[in-house]
Amino acid sequence: MDDDDLGYPPGMAGLDAMAGLGGLGGMGGLGGLGGMGGLGGLGGMGGLGGLGGFGGGGMEDLYGGGGVHYTGTLLDGTKFDSSRDRDAPFKFTLGQGQVIKGWDLGIKTMKKVKYEVRLEDGTVVAESDGVEFTVKDGHFCPAISKAVKTMKKNEKALLTVKPQYGFGEQGRPAARDEAAIPPNATLHINLELVSWKAVTEIGNDKKILKKILHEGEGYERPSDCTLVRVKLIGKLEDGTIFVTRGHDGDEPFEFKTDEDQVVEGLDKAVLSMKKGEVALVTIPPEYAFGSDETRQDLSVVPPNSTVYYEVELVSFDKEKESWDMKENTEKIEAAAKKKDEGNAWFKMEKYARASKRYGKALNFIEYDSSFSEEEKQLSKPLKVSCKLNNAACKLKLKDYKEAKELCTEVLELDSMNVKAFYRRAQAHMCLVDFDLAELDIKKALEIDPDNRDVKMGYRRLKEKVKEQKRKETKLYGNMISKLSKLEDSETEGGTTQAPSKKHGLWPLTALLRRLFTRSDGSKESMLWLVLRLLIPVVLLVAVCVAFYMRSGPPEVDCINC
């Protein structure tokens, strides 16, 4: 597969000319060529983008860096500048004001078209089998991703740049071997896109950025707990190198992913790489060294520093998956090992990592149709233990629904498991299902009446219920008091008076009174008296539900492995 066959992967964040993505082309339009505006051009589909080769560069190549060959001419054909005369493409960063405004916008909004432009009388004023562009503020979407998706590697384009996006009313005097540009000059600029490189966002919050400098091979990537070998150079924003590994004849640096052996941002980035891939990774402080000053091999990393790693993934050894294991005994042993790893992470209060280990342990033994009876007897306690421990992790991570489901799965394997009943009760309490929580706790006490943890949990539940009842009683009393005052104000002096608007329920109360008062007006009906009581009850229920939803979770007992 050659470079131009590469597609546009999902999750792509930003694209640039020298360091960005050429991708799917769009139907291009032509407007304002050579002063003519608003004419539609015939669209041509831009091809799939290709990946540029490995290249170095400093911090300016991080985002949206443009690398182009160009020749600039005036309308009369006078050449005023050319990168080809210097035999090197010009590099710049999109959107940073390093070039004339029209050029900057042009790179970001290129559309590939075959065109023919005519006047109203049919006269052809422009014709080309190549590519033509007009830069107009707001004409195309300003997003960088839409800019370079329209061009392929080595594609050439002609920009027609109006004065307001060139050198404006001032023009530009001659400089060195470059010709002068008159005021209000419209410029034609030939461009060639030299290369692009993909920039991807990593993590749920997409704060870690990875720019691919060189594509890797194959399709496999490391997973959690994979032994990886990398070459890396770590830099600060000013270019100071604070660490280098695997260079100058040194062996590649080895570490296990998701084991806290490197900063979190680097760990996550390596998980997204393929063998042989080279990438520049930008890591914000919260995924690097945080707010503390940190001493590294070659330099001190100041507090709150964004750091940059150039990383090459040399090779990696993934752990065996269950389908790679031929013997069931090997699966059981692997599950036991993962469970022990999970226990170690739990004790360090790394609950997310512990949960992953318990989940991976279950993957080895969850499907046991090929197991012998003896192997099933060996794997069953492991299943129960991993599910229970994972439920404890989920409680700590406030994933109460998942914790409840895991406990239910345990009870399907062992219907008398006290821990499963108790942890499911904790999940019910956090989900404000107090009745279900009480049922599970009572069931646990039936099985083990002397269980100290369950008894303490039951006391906490009772205290919580009592506290809610006290609040309900107080709230109900206040509502009845307000309604009584409202009735007194309406019937004062033996006549019906307009209720005070300070009572929030006065329109509803007045309406219901009219509907359920006897026709002679002498005495209220019994139905009205009943409704007087029902209205605050309904409101009370609504308030209580809202309060329960805001209730904090009870303390989760430590895991008992």
Residue 45 lies in a domain: yes
Domain boundary among 198, 233, 256: 198
Say which CATH number the domain at 328 has.
Answer: 1.25.40.10
Residue 411 lies in a domain: yes
**Residue 338, pLDDT above cutoff 90:** yes
Residues 382, 294 share a domain = no
First to last CA, the chain: 52
**Residue 45, pLDDT above cutoff 90:** no
Contact yes or no for 355/519 (Cβ under 8 A)? no
**Residue 49, pLDDT above cutoff 50:** no
Residue-level pLDDT at 417: 95
Contact yes or no for 41/123 (Cβ under 8 A)? no
Which parts of 58-154 are beta strand (E)?
65-73, 79-82, 90-93, 115-118, 124-128, 132-134
Q: How confident is the model at residue 483 (pLDDT cuts 50, 70, 90)?
A: low
Q: How confident is the model at residue 542 (pLDDT cuts 50, 70, 90)?
A: confident
Residues 254, 341 share a domain = no
The domain total for the chain is: 4
Domain, as residue range, for 332: 324-415
Across residues 391-399, what is the average pLDDT? 96
pLDDT over 90 percentage in the chain: 37
Residue 426 lies in a domain: no
pLDDT over 70 percentage in the chain: 53
Q: Coil, helix or strand for 470?
A: helix
Which residue shows structure tokens 């090459």? 312
Residue 456 lies in a domain: no
**Residue 552, pLDDT above cutoff 80:** no
Residues 359, 308 share a domain = no
Residue-level pLDDT at 170: 78
Across residues 8-12, what is the average pLDDT? 34
Residues 217, 190 share a domain = no
- Integer CA distances (angstroms), 6 to 9, 122, 296, in order: 9, 42, 38
**Residue 425, pLDDT above cutoff 90:** yes
**Residue 134, pLDDT above cutoff 70:** no
**Residue 433, pLDDT above cutoff 80:** yes
**Residue 388, pLDDT above cutoff 70:** yes
Q: Which of 225, 227, 221 is nearest to 341 (CA)?
A: 225
Residues 332, 479 share a domain = no
Residue 142 lies in a domain: yes
Task: Tell me the sheet residues that pair with 160.
Answer: 134, 188
Lowest mean pLDDT among 30-34, 347-351, 387-391, 550-554: 30-34
Over the stretch 111-126, which tens digit does the pLDDT of each residue have?
333 323 222 333 332 3
**Can you read off the two tokens belonging to residue 76?**
């009369």
Residues 132, 20 share a domain = yes
**Residue 10, pLDDT above cutoff 50:** no
Residue-level pLDDT at 549: 62
Q: Coil, helix or strand for 216?
A: coil
User: Mean pLDDT, the chain, as a whole number?
Assistant: 71
Residues 373, 349 share a domain = yes
Across residues 487-509, what is the average pLDDT? 51
Q: How confident is the model at residue 320 (pLDDT cuts 50, 70, 90)?
A: confident
**Residue 242, pLDDT above cutoff 90:** yes
Q: Which residues of 183-192 are buried (b: 16+ CB within 10 A; e: fewer)?
A: eebbbbbbbb
Residues 270, 180 share a domain = no
Domain boundary among 198, 228, 247: 198
Q: Which of 106, 108, 271 is nearest to 203 (CA)?
A: 271
Q: How confident is the model at residue 200 (pLDDT cuts 50, 70, 90)?
A: confident
Over the stretch 19-35, which tens digit does the pLDDT of each residue have?
333 333 333 333 333 33
Say which CATH number the domain at 117 has.
Answer: 3.10.50.40
- Integer CA distances (angstroms), 556 to 383, 410, 427, 447, 504, in order: 21, 18, 9, 21, 41
Residue 458 lies in a domain: no
pTM over 0.95, yes/no? no
Q: How confident is the model at residue 143 (pLDDT cuts 50, 70, 90)?
A: very low
Residue 19 lies in a domain: yes
Residues 233, 177 share a domain = no
Residues 142, 93 share a domain = yes
Domain boundary among 255, 285, 317: 317
Residues 523, 405 share a domain = no
Over the stretch 287-297, which tens digit does the pLDDT of each residue have?
999 999 999 99
Residue-level pLDDT at 168: 73
Residue 422 lies in a domain: no
Residue-level pLDDT at 303: 95
Residues 337, 305 share a domain = no
Query: Could you count the other beta carbons within 10 Å of the beta carbon of residue 80?
Result: 20
Across 19-28, 69-78, 204-213, which has the greatest mean pLDDT? 204-213
